[in-house]
Amino acid sequence: MSASGTKTKRDFLKLSDFSRDELFRLLDRATELAKLRREDRSPRTLTGKTVALVFEKASTRTRLSFEAAVSELGGHPMNVDTQTSQMSRGEPLADTARVVSRYAHAVLFRTFSSERLHTFANAATSPVINGLSDDAHPIQLLADVQTLREHFGSVEGRLVSFVGDGSSNMARSFLEAASLFGFKLRLVCPEAFSPPAAEVDAAITTIERDPKAAARGADVVVTDVWTSMGQEKEVAERLRAFAGFTVDATMMRTAKPEAVVLHCLPAHRGEEITADVLDGPQSLVWDEAENRMHTAKALLEALIIA
């Protein structure tokens, strides 16, 4: 059993856990929920529901967006982190998942390896959402695509250039998103930081090594930090490897005049992106951050009450 009773549970561990049509319907709902919030008419679709937010990694946007999403829909968010739970004292992950499922109608889990994510999801009896893992960040891609759809009207056929670590969870989620949402992807990264070959669809993705070609003709330029959580000992090595890959005004001049910039945040101004670009007129990063909340609402509705 779980807090959601006998209903068959469904997880969201990667984008392709939903069909293309389901993803577009979810984003349509997110846009509708954003409009309702602006009108102070947010529905109370999660009244009486509890959502557990379990964190093994630090978080700002994921934690706050899901807390706000659950609360504004009438539910109750419960925060659990490693330091203040029995997880820090060695309780088996599967045991935590089983117990949390008895209390919560859905669980967000932010962790390190894919193995830990799947261990948790397999033991849980309530729906599990991947709040970030080493190889995927699907909830961020929902917000990214919602932002682009709202700005351009459609993402289909657009050229998206991801500049930076091609082996990162963000790059790999963009690889998955390209085929699902119908945009073309250019991945610009050093060879040593390439994604797994099996995840690259040559029909819709090109890989470039020269950062001078990174933004050429692009509709969207995306970047992320060069050193992610858990890679802190690699800072010096990564700074050397990504020299020249900074998204700056010079790079953006080669993109289309109407091109926009995305960054999932937090940003290291002066490393992967310059301050004038991040804070400039082409940046959609603040809309992107807000859309984390709207897409969280739509996802929770889909998993809990659909």
- Rounded Cα distance between 57 and 229, Å, is 8
Q: Please give the pLDDT value at position 118.
A: 98
Range name among 143-147, 180-184, 231-235, 291-295 with the lowest pLDDT average: 231-235
Q: Please give the pLDDT value at position 235.
A: 87
Of 172, 123, 147, which Cα lies nearest the Cα of 292? Answer: 147
- Rounded Cα distance between 213 and 251, Å, is 8
The helix (H) or strand (E) run that includes residue 69 is helix 61-72
User: What does the pLDDT look like over 226-243, one tens digit per residue?
Assistant: 987 677 778 889 999 999
Distances (CA, A) of 156 to 159, 177, 180, 182, 205: 9, 11, 10, 5, 14
Give the 3-state secondary structure of residue 206: strand
The pTM of this model reads 0.96
**pLDDT interval class at 2 (50, 70, 90):** low
Sign for the pseudo-dihedral over CA of 259, 265, 267, 271: negative
**What are the structural domains of the chain?**
15-137+292-304 (3.40.50.1370), 139-288 (3.40.50.1370)
Rg (CA), the chain: 19
Q: Please give the pLDDT value at position 10.
A: 97
Q: In this prediction, what percent of the chain has a pLDDT beyond 90?
A: 91
CB neighbour burial string for 104-134, b if at least 16 within 10 angstroms, e if fewer: bbbbbbbbeebeebbbbbebbbbbbbbbbbb
Q: Please give the pLDDT value at position 225.
A: 95
Q: Please give the pLDDT value at position 231.
A: 75
- CB atoms under 10 Å from CB of 305, counted, come to 13
Q: Please give the pLDDT value at position 5.
A: 58
Q: Which residues are catalytic?
A: 110, 137, 140, 224, 264, 292
The angle formed by the CA atoms of residues 294, 171 and 28, to the nearest 5 degrees, is 25
Between 228 and 135, the more confident residue is 135
* Residue 62, token pair as written in the block: 């994921």
Q: Please give the pLDDT value at position 37.
A: 98
- Rounded Cα distance between 92 and 94, Å, is 5
- Rounded Cα distance between 123 and 76, Å, is 22
User: What does the pLDDT look like over 3-41, one tens digit per residue?
Assistant: 755 578 999 999 999 999 999 999 999 999 999 999 999
The angle formed by the CA atoms of residues 245, 14 and 30, to the nearest 5 degrees, is 90
User: What does the pLDDT look like over 250-277, one tens digit per residue?
Assistant: 999 999 999 999 999 999 999 999 999 9
User: What does the pLDDT look like over 81-118, one tens digit per residue?
Assistant: 988 899 888 899 999 999 999 999 999 999 999 999 99
8 A C-beta contact, residue 275 and residue 269: yes
Prior bond of 281 cis (ω within 30°) = no
Task: Examine the pLDDT at 66 and tell me if it is beyond 90.
Answer: yes
* Residue 51, token pair as written in the block: 């959502």
